[in-house]
């Protein structure tokens, strides 16, 4: 079944559900829960670091991340160019310190203490120009939070890149860090890894679980339970030096001028 066959379930009255296209992740789609929680884990980590700050969530998509940031930040602006996502976000997420703007990330300009730009830089033709723009928004004391998937764990073994048609370029550890260092004076690199039950599942796969569950007829029942049960706590962020970032799922970078 293609991604576009899935649509958000159980939306509040008056809020149009979004279809899963593969360009962005969505809450309220059980089959997508692994990817949604993988994104949510990073938003939670950043939310703890932007308390009391003015935040711009660039390419905010459905808006769930902007809403999470707004629980601790002084104010949040969620920016996205897609008209359906923008309409959905502004109707669903209602907080006094949260608003949504429909605009291009290259063009939206408002001073902030922090800019958040997750799982999107791999979509860009000119990432350097966008990073320079973000740097201009946060001034000399602000921070830019970025994330991108690790091509070494995203792409099939031996392949140069994944088959995601929305991705222009997928990064390796050193390449992504060097891109950030060309535009910022301080760059702190982290990796996102499986934890708790996802780590146990990862270990089970190395022991041959993928060969066992089809023979036992458990595939549908197991993953029908397992995937919706994944939570943000089943992922963990580790700093460079604490783990081999070439094995990370995603890279998360905190950049300061």
Is residue 224 in some structural domain? no
- pLDDT by residue (tens digit) across 172-208? 999 999 999 999 999 999 999 999 999 998 888 888 8
pLDDT digits (tens, 9 = 90+) for 221-256: 878 888 999 999 999 999 998 999 999 999 999 999
Q: Binning pLDDT at 50, 70 and 90, where does residue 45 land?
A: very high
Residue 116 falls inside a structural domain: yes
Q: Has residue 175 been placed in a domain?
A: yes
* Listed residue (123, 246, 253, 119) closest to 193, CA to CA: 246
Residue span of the structural domain in which 72 resides: 29-193+240-256
Q: What is the dihedral of CA 51, 55, 60, 63, to 10 degrees?
A: 50
In this prediction, residue 155 has a pLDDT band, given cuts at 50, 70 and 90, of confident
Positive or negative: CA dihedral 192, 239, 128, 118? positive
- Residue 123 domain flag: yes
Q: Residue 216 domain-assigned?
A: no
Query: CA-to-CA distance for 255 and 141, rounded, in angstroms?
Result: 11
pLDDT tens by residue, 79-108 = 999 999 999 999 999 999 999 999 999 999
Q: Is residue 19 part of a domain?
A: no
Tell whether the model's pLDDT for residue 1 goes beyond 80.
Answer: no
**CB-based burial of residue 103 (10 Å sphere; 0-12 exposed, 13-18 middle, 19+ buried)?**
middle
Q: Return d(Cα 35, Cα 53) in angstroms, integer.
A: 27
Instruction: Say what the pTM is.
Output: 0.94
| Mean pLDDT lowest among 10-24, 144-158, 188-202, 205-219 | 205-219
Residues of the chain with pLDDT > 70, as a percent, come to 98
- 1 or 96: which carries more pLDDT confidence? 96
164 confidence band (pLDDT: 50, 70, 90): confident
CB atoms within 10 A of CB 58: 28
What is the pLDDT confidence band of residue 157, given thresholds at 50, 70 and 90?
confident
How many structural domains does the chain have?
Answer: 1
Q: Residue 210 domain-assigned?
A: no
Question: Over the stretch 52-88, which tens digit does the pLDDT of each residue have?
Answer: 999 999 999 999 999 999 999 999 999 999 999 999 9
> What is the distance between the alpha carbons of residues 108 and 192, in angstroms, rounded to a whole number?
29
In a domain, 223, yes or no: no
Q: What is the CATH number of the domain that holds 184?
A: 3.40.50.150
């Amino acid at each position: 079944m293609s991604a576009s066959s899935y649509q958000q379930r159980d939306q509040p009255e008056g809020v149009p559900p979004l279809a899963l296209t593969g360009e962005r992740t969505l809450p309220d789609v059980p089959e997508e829960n692994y990817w949604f929680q993988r994104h949510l884990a990073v938003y939670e980590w950043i939310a703890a670091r932007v308390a009391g700050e003015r935040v711009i969530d660039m390419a905010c998509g459905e808006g769930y991340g902007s809403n999470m940031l707004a629980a601790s930040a002084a104010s949040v602006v969620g920016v996205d160019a897609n008209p359906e996502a923008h309409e959905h976000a502004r109707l669903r997420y209602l907080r006094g310190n949260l608003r949504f703007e429909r605009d291009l990330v290259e063009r939206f300009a408002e001073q902030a203490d922090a800019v958040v730009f997750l799982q999107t830089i791999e979509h860009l033709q000119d990432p350097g120009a966008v990073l320079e723009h973000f740097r201009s928004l946060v001034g000399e004391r602000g921070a830019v939070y970025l994330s991108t998937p690790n091509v070494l764990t995203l792409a099939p073994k031996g392949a140069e890149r994944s088959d995601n048609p929305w991705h222009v370029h997928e990064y390796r550890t050193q390449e992504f860090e060097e891109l950030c260092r060309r535009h910022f004076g301080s760059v702190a690199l982290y990796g996102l890894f499986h934890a708790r039950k996802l780590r146990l599942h990862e270990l089970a796969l190395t022991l041959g679980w993928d060969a066992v569950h089809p023979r036992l007829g458990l595939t549908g029942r197991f993953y029908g339970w397992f995937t919706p049960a994944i939570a943000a706590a089943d992922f963990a962020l580790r700093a460079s030096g604490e783990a081999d970032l070439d094995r990370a799922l995603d890279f998360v970078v905190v950049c300061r001028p």
